[in-house]
Amino acid sequence: MEPRPSVIQTRLKDVNRVIAVASGKGGVGKSMVASNLALTLAEQGKKVGLLDLDLYGPSSHLILGFSPEGFPDEEHGIIPQEIEGIKFMSLVYFSEDKPGAFRGNDVTNIILELLAITRWDDLDYLILDLPPGIGDETLDVISFIPQTEFLVVTTPSKVAFGAVEKLLKILIEGKLPLLGVVENMTRDSSEYISKKVSKLNVDYFGALLYDAQVENAIGDPLKLVETNFAKDVSKVSEKL
């Protein structure tokens, strides 16, 4: 019998809440939302971990301005390094940010190993930055961490929400913990997304206005938390 799933629950026994920031569509700013949510919660005095589970395009380390040089300390498991009060873990420690190609079983094994060896210890929140789509990574999280609560990110685009809606329906049909939907990069007051979400009986967590200053703040957490975008994310955190 595969022992790692039970080890994962042992690793997470002192984690109060696991929140996955997910989307059925790429390019919606999911990693930006996940990273800023972690920063915001840490600023509020919470004990926070951030795990980037995007195997093909991890970007949380770029947003936070972190260069994973060397490997984290190991003592009865891997101890995540800290960035601005956030315990941070990512595949980039293993890949050294080089491109990689993985097949289904490889993906599951990588995720199992990452979850089983990482020591989170005592946390209020563990934020998972999931890759776009509804692939092995998302399904593995559902399987190995059933207590995960999902915060789903979309943009005002009808095309983007067409994909996001599929993820929402999977979560609803599976009766999985679904916190709500965040509408990112909004520019106007259109109610298209909020109405679509309401029809699914899912909570609409509000809009994150497009903020041109975010791009200049990437790589500098102290600048990021001062942006209007981060302030909007802070409002979302209050609804958790």
- 175 to each of 99, 130, 134, 147, how far by Cα in Å? 35, 19, 16, 12
Residues of the chain with pLDDT under 70: 1-2, 68-75, 94-104
Count CB atoms within 10 A of the CB of residue 133: 16
How far is residue 164's CA from residue 95's CA, in Å, rounded to a whole number?
Answer: 29
**What does the buried/exposed string (b/e) look like for 27-47 if buried means 16 or more CB atoms within 10 Å of the residue's CB?**
ebbbbbbbbbbbbbbbbeebb
All structural domains of the chain with their residue ranges: 4-235
In this prediction, residue 100 carries a pLDDT of 61
In this prediction, residue 122 carries a pLDDT of 96
pTM of the predicted model as reported, rounded to 2 decimal places: 0.93
In this prediction, residue 99 carries a pLDDT of 58
In this prediction, residue 188 carries a pLDDT of 84
Residue 183's Cβ-side half-sphere holds a number of Cα atoms within 13 Å equal to: 24
CATH number of the domain located at residue range(s) 4-235 in this protein = 3.40.50.300
In this prediction, residue 112 carries a pLDDT of 84
Tokens for 200, please give them.
């699914």
Count CB atoms within 10 A of the CB of residue 144: 19
Helix (H, G, I), strand (E, B) or coil at 59: coil
